[in-house]
Amino acid sequence: MRSYGQYCPIAKAAETLGDRWTILIVRELSFGVDHFNELQRCLPGISRSVLTQRLRHLERVGIIERRSATYHLTSAGQSLRPVLRELGLWAARWAFGEPDPRELDPDLVIRWISRHVDTGALPGHRVVTQFDLTGPRARRYWLVLELAEVSVCLHDPGFQVDVFVVAGTAVLYDVYLGRRTLPGAIRDGLVAVSGSPAMVRAFPRWLTGSDFANAVRQGMADLAPR
């Protein structure tokens, strides 16, 4: 990015982070995505050449460091976490209208859901949840939920499935982002959850939703007719 020619902290921040994809790369690194190919999978639409350029820029300005084949946030990069959160909260409240259907990527919403599982609410053993996403980009996913980690599988992991979920991609986004509740979506027939009665009852407790859900709901309330 070209310099704004201003000796101003906000101008310097914009020069450092203002190029397309740069902030999203930092977002993914903050969630522990540290390999080049995985970063590219988490950023649909970015080319390998642009990702390479942005990573080199972030390394040059001291926000990330490369260790062998992996990338990690430096202290300067780690300190951006609360900055990104505040940006997200602002956008969720004031700049987050109805989605463009092209923005609703099933791979991303499943990955984001996997990052917001309350593993402390799990029954103490591995739980496998199968998601069948319906719509123009219908696809099946499996989440393997364990106390130590949550894994997203694009192919059958070979374990017995405990919970089956069928939902449209748009509805799943609404639930994850707090635009509607999971029990409400189930009651309205927009999400179907099946399995043993105990697992079906416990399932809503495992999914915590987006960190920005409260701000999204507040923004919706602000726009609601009085």
- Quick one: tokens of 86? 């505040």
* Residues spanned by the domain of 199: 101-211
pTM, full prediction? 0.93
d(C-alpha 168, C-alpha 166), whole Å: 7
d(C-alpha 41, C-alpha 49), whole Å: 14
Asked if residue 199 and residue 136 are part of one domain, the reply reads yes
Asked if residue 116 and residue 51 are part of one domain, the reply reads no
Split into its structural domains, the chain has a count of 2
137 within some domain? yes
Q: What is the pLDDT along the chain (226 residues), one digit of tens a residue?
A: 688 999 999 999 999 999 999 999 999 999 999 999 999 999 999 999 999 999 999 999 999 999 999 999 999 999 999 999 999 999 999 999 899 999 999 999 999 999 999 999 999 899 999 999 998 889 999 999 999 999 999 999 999 999 999 999 999 999 999 999 999 999 999 999 999 999 999 999 999 999 999 999 999 998 777 6
Asked if residue 131 and residue 50 are part of one domain, the reply reads no
105 within some domain? yes
Asked if residue 178 and residue 116 are part of one domain, the reply reads yes
Asked if residue 75 and residue 107 are part of one domain, the reply reads no
Asked if residue 109 and residue 64 are part of one domain, the reply reads no
Angle at which helices 48-60 and 22-30 cross, to 10°: 80
